[in-house]
């Protein structure tokens, strides 16, 4: 029996768990950080909560006899990815990073790239006054002193500080272009702020912004550890097969 740890709460992590859990010679454990109150759970065994840093994760990998780790966390989950890389080195367990590609601009897009949320907050006064903010509930403090009005969409309610003029919308994808266009029109949005999360679940907001001729402020992805990377679930399964650890069907 081969034991695989999947780090993540992403759609790719759930799809990978579903692809592996039916294999009779494979045991899958998915780990969620526990930051979302009602997460979508993958099939198979699930653990929720942190490991106590790279040392704690390395100890857990050894204690649980993990044969391979796939980091399928969110592209902006920088801390856990760094911990996974350090823990894999300490424990000698093979590690793969599964990252969906980022978004690419299309004709008609008016994108403004920034390195982080503080840079996005500094840029906002020059591009718009009615902001559709879709960067998640963490980091809203960076926009607390920004002028203008904000429509903030996230899965769970944020804690203060938050923008002074704000309407909160609790929702999760997938979204439609028609729905996003109607939302932006209803609230007279003149600028969209997002992270380069990639994927299809939330790309509709970019299509809607293009249709409406709105500028988009996009936060670049943080750097990733120097580990092997793939962009699809199929490639991750192939990597596990090539590892020579009995994962072939």
pLDDT tens, residue by residue, 140-164 = 999 999 999 999 999 999 999 999 9
Tens digit of pLDDT for each residue in 37-84?
Answer: 778 889 999 999 999 999 999 999 999 999 999 999 999 999 999 999
Mean pLDDT of the chain: 94
Domain of 27, in residue numbers:
2-101+223-242
Residues 172, 80, single domain; the answer is: no
Where the chain has pLDDT below 50, the residues are 246-249
Instruction: Say yes or no: 78 and 155 in one domain.
Output: no
Q: What is the CATH number of the domain that holds 142?
A: 3.40.50
> What is the number of domains present in the chain?
2
Q: In this structure, are 76 and 114 located in the same domain?
A: no
Q: Are residues 131 and 64 part of one domain?
A: no
- The confidence score (pLDDT) of residue 248 equals 47
Q: Are residues 75 and 26 in the same domain?
A: yes
Q: Could you tell me the two tokens for 152?
A: 């903030």
Identify whether residues 77 and 117 lie together within a single domain: no
One domain for residues 172 and 71: no
pTM reported for the whole predicted model: 0.91
Both 207 and 119 in one domain: the answer is: yes
Give the pLDDT score at 244: 52
The pLDDT score that the predictor gives to residue 246 is 44
């Amino acid at each position: 029996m081969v034991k695989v740890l999947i780090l993540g709460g992403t759609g790719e992590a759930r799809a990978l768990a579903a692809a592996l859990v039916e294999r009779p010679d494979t045991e899958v454990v998915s780990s969620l950080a526990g930051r979302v109150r009602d997460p979508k759970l993958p099939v198979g065994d699930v653990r929720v909560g942190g490991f106590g840093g790279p040392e704690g994760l390395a100890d857990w990998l050894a204690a649980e006899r993990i044969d391979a780790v796939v980091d399928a966390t969110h592209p902006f989950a920088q801390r856990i990815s760094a911990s996974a890389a350090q823990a894999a080195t300490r424990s000698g367990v093979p590690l793969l990073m599964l990252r969906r590609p980022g978004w690419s601009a299309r004709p008609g897009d008016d994108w403004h790239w920034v390195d982080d949320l503080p840079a996005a907050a500094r840029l906002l006064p020059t591009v718009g006054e009615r902001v559709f903010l879709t960067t998640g509930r963490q980091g809203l403090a960076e926009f607390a002193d920004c002028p203008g009005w904000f429509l903030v969409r996230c899965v769970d309610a944020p804690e203060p500080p938050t923008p002074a003029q704000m309407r909160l919308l609790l929702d999760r994808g997938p979204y439609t272009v028609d729905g996003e266009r109607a939302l932006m029109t209803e609230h007279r949005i003149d600028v969209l702020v997002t992270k380069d999360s990639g994927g299809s679940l939330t790309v509709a907001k970019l299509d809607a912004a293009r249709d409406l001729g709105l500028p988009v402020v996009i936060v670049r992805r943080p750097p990733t550890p120097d580990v092997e990377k793939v962009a699809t679930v199929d490639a991750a399964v192939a990597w596990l097969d090539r590892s020579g650890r009995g994962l072939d069907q």
